[in-house]
Amino acid sequence: MNTHLSDPSQTPFEREIAERLVDVLQLEIAPEEIDPLAPLFVEGLGLDSIDALEVALMISRAYGVTLSSDDPNSRDIFASLRALATHVTVMRPAG
């Protein structure tokens, strides 16, 4: 879990997810340039709901974490790279 909620530099795991985001969404930005605290949607990277679905598929394949609208915090998962990485870290199956 992240203990440095306002640290603007990427953790190694955030960097890993950032690389996957850039790859799967064909973003014209280098992974290291994604601000871990900036919103992923609209104002930040400008992603939309189709991107969210694509990211959800990537997350389930890479980490075995299935996103669902019934998750209590489903509205916050895409708040930022850090929120996404934290959610995956928490929900990831052990081992």
Partner 1 sequence: MHFPDTPDFSLIHAPDRVVVRRHGGEMTGHDLLRAAYRVADLLPDAPVVPVCLDVGHFIVLLLATLLRGRHVLLSSDRTATRLAALAAEHGAVCVGFADDLPDGEHPAHMLVLPPPDGSGVGCPKNPAIDGERLVAIVFTSGSTGQPVAHTKRWGALVVRSIVARVLLDPVEQASTLVGTVPPYHMYGFETLVLQAIHTRCAVASGPAFYPSDWRKMLEFSPAPRVLVTTPLQLRLLLGAELSCPAIARIISAAAPLGETLARQAEDRLGAPVMEIYGATEIGSVAMRRTTAGPGWELYDTVELAQDGDDATIAAPGAPAYPLSDLVEKDGPRHFRLIGRRNDMVKLAAKRASLSALNTALTALPGVEDGAFLPPEGDAESAFARMRVFVVAPALSAEAVIAGLRGRIDPAFLPRGVVFVDALPRNGVGKLTVQALRQFAARLAQGKEIGTAVIPASHPCLAGHFPGRPVVPGVVLLEEGLALAGLCPTRIEQVKFLRPVSPDETVTFFAKHEAARIRLSAYVQGQVVLRAVIGHGPQP
Euclidean distance between CA atoms 17 and 50, whole angstroms: 18
> Does 28 sit near partner 1 (CB under 8 A)?
yes
> Does 50 sit near partner 1 (CB under 8 A)?
yes
CA torsion through residues 28, 47, 94, 90, sign: positive
Per rule CB under 8 A, count of chain residues that contact partner 1: 27
CA nearest to 45, candidates 58, 54, 57, 36 = 36
Nearer to partner 1, 78 or 82 (CB): 78
Enumerate binding residues for partner 1 (CB under 8 A): 15, 25-30, 32-33, 42, 46, 48-50, 52-54, 56-57, 60-61, 66-70, 75
